[in-house]
Amino acid sequence: MPAQSDSQFWSDAQRHLIRYGGSFSPVIIERASGSYVYDSTGRAILDFTSGQMSAVLGHAHPEIAEVIAESARNLTHLFSGMLSRPVVELATRLAGIAPKGLERSLLLSTGAEANEAALRMAKLATGKYEVVSFAQSWHGMTGGAASATYSAGRKGYGPAAVGSFAIPAPYPYRPRFEHNGAYDWAAELDYAFDLLDRQSTGNLAAFIAEPILSSGGLIELPLGYMRALHAKCAARGMMLIVDEAQTGLGRTGTMFACERDGVVPDILTLSKTLGAGIPLAAVLTTLEIEARCHERGFLFYTTHVSDPMPAAVGLKVIDIVERDNLVRRATVVGARLYEGLKSLQSRFDCIGDVRGRGLMLGIEIVGDRETKSAAPELSGAITQRCLELGLHMNIVQLPGFGGVFRLAPPLTISETEIDSALTILQDAIAGSLRA
């Protein structure tokens, strides 16, 4: 698809924007509504990334728009030491829906900011400083969060925070440990922690984990893995921080993804989905951990901590998710999408794997199903052809592995829109293979 006709727009973009990773889609987006974004020619494009994996209620949800308008007229921002009703109400509401025991909240703006605060709390509460995460993780681009991010962005910026460690992400499609022909994630986890114990100075403060590693290739932690990870953390006196930026608020078919394993983390972070596209994040923890941090002088002033307008939006998001039974809907509609993707896999050998749960799914594109070889040119061509046909999807190119499409449409998406996306994807793959 050629770049759109507004040459001045593209000239200005090229001249004045700092490029912050990847390349820009060759479309000018003018507006968005529901499951679609609309370009400057008026063409509707199905948005299977929910913006930046955030717009769980779709774009321009009328009730969210009304909350924003009302807040803009009355109360948007305050001095960080002042409180408003939406902030206290959202903290109370989060305590009511979160895994049992997570009763205290800190309301912030972004996922990186929430993870930064969570890591500071874990270090302060434990008196230690070493942080562990997965080798394909993404937790943000700020200092501590970036030091715990290994899927990209580590080269060229100098040393990471002292005490940063990584262990292999469990990857059932490409298993590193096998027993009797089956992936043995427990042995892999044991080995990883054995190496970790040998490297640690005895100051293990926290493990930060995504239940589904999104930027790392849509890799879902196997059933039971998080419970085993939690036990290893507890045995070492370190905290488990679960980063539910993308999995929180129902996307995987439970309100929080960690609930599938019955795990209550020491600290839980939320962001993207909580604001449904508005910058809003939260750190949730226990009364005990909050009290210990407070006693030791926990400090995390930011310009937009406890802002009333985003808090009001977060309250409305929870209202809609619960009222419209969107957690259950993610399971039902997600199953439709999953089965459609499995059907495409049976037709196209380039789809090596279909994985994920609820409405957070991934398909790995390979050059050869037997060798699982990477096929970056093919996956890039499929991405481009999908956009030409009216479907926006995000591809993550894993170095040395395949390219993985991350499919995360709004929880409000219709069955008709699911079927339309599957048809477009089918045509895009078929056309790219013929080219």
Helix H, strand E, coil C: the string for 362-407 is: EEEEEEECCCCEECHHHHHHHHHHHHHHCEECEEEECCCCCEEEEE
Q: How far is CA 178 from CA 169, 181, 186, in A?
A: 15, 6, 10
- Give exposure, 68-93, as e/b (b: 16+ Cβ within 10 Å): beebeeebeebeeeeebebbeebbeb
Say yes or no to pLDDT of 249 above 80: yes
Domain with CATH 3.40.640.10 in the chain: 64-323
**Catalytic residue flag (residue 210):** yes
| CA distance to 32, 48, 298, 326, 395, per residue, from 36 (Å) | 6, 9, 42, 19, 18
- Residue 24: both structure tokens together: 């820009």
**Is 155 in the active site?**
no
| Active-site hit among 210, 220, 261, 364 | 210
Q: Could you say which of 39, 128, 130, 138 is catalytic?
A: 138
Tokens describing residue 272: 């993207």
416 pLDDT higher than 70: yes
Judged by DSSP in three states, 138 sits in coil
Of 272, 316, 357, 385, catalytic: 272
263 DSSP 8-state letter: -
**What residues pair up with 392 in beta bridges, in sequence order?**
47
Q: Which of 336, 329, 371, 331 is nearest to 350 (CA)?
A: 371
Query: Rounded to an integer, what distance in angstroms lies between the CA atom of residue 316 and that of residue 310?
Result: 10
Instruction: Give the per-residue pLDDT at 1.
Output: 47
Tell me if residue 262 falls in helix, strand or coil. coil
What is the Cα–Cα distance from 133 to 114, expressed in whole angstroms?
16
State what percent of residues in the chain have pLDDT above 90. 96
User: Which of 273, 269, 375, 259 is CA-nearest to residue 314?
Assistant: 273
So what's the pLDDT on residue 7? 92
Averaged pLDDT of the chain: 96
* Count, residues in the chain: 435
Would residue 56 be called left, alpha or beta, if left means φ above 0 and alpha means ψ between -120 and 50 degrees? alpha
> What is the model's pLDDT at position 311?
98
Of 128, 355, 385, 406, which residue is the catalytic one?
406
The residues with which 130 forms a beta bridge, in sequence order, are 204
Q: In whole angstroms, what is the distance from residue 65 CA to residue 89 CA?
A: 19
3 state DSSP class of 149: coil
Question: What's the pLDDT score for residue 113?
Answer: 98
Q: pLDDT tens, 168-184?
A: 999 999 999 999 999 99
**Token representation of residue 40:** 């400057």
Q: What is the largest CA-CA distance in the chain?
A: 65
What is the average per-residue pLDDT within 70-83?
A: 97
pLDDT band at 3, cuts 50/70/90? low
Tokens of 283: 């750190």
| pTM, two decimal places | 0.97
Q: Is 6 labeled as catalytic in the residue annotation? A: no
Structure tokens at 250: 């129902």
Distances (CA, A) of 212 to 94, 121, 242, 388: 21, 23, 10, 29
pLDDT of 118 over the 50 cut? yes
Mean pLDDT of 385-409: 92
Can you say how many angstroms the Cα of residue 38 is from the centroid of all Cα atoms in its chain?
A: 24
Through-space distance between the first and last CA atoms of the chain, rounded to whole angstroms? 15
The values of phi and psi at residue 90, to 5°, are: -70, -40
What is the tens place of the pLDDT at every residue in 305-318?
999 999 999 999 99
Q: Is 128 a catalytic residue?
A: no
pLDDT band at 401 (very low <50, low <70, confident <90, very high): confident
Q: Return the CATH number of the domain spanning residue range 64-323.
A: 3.40.640.10
Q: Which of 130, 243, 266, 364 is catalytic?
A: 243
Residue 253 CA to residue 327 CA, distance in Å, equals 5
Annotation marks residue 243 as catalytic: yes
Given the residues 246, 251, 261, 364, the one annotated as active site: 246
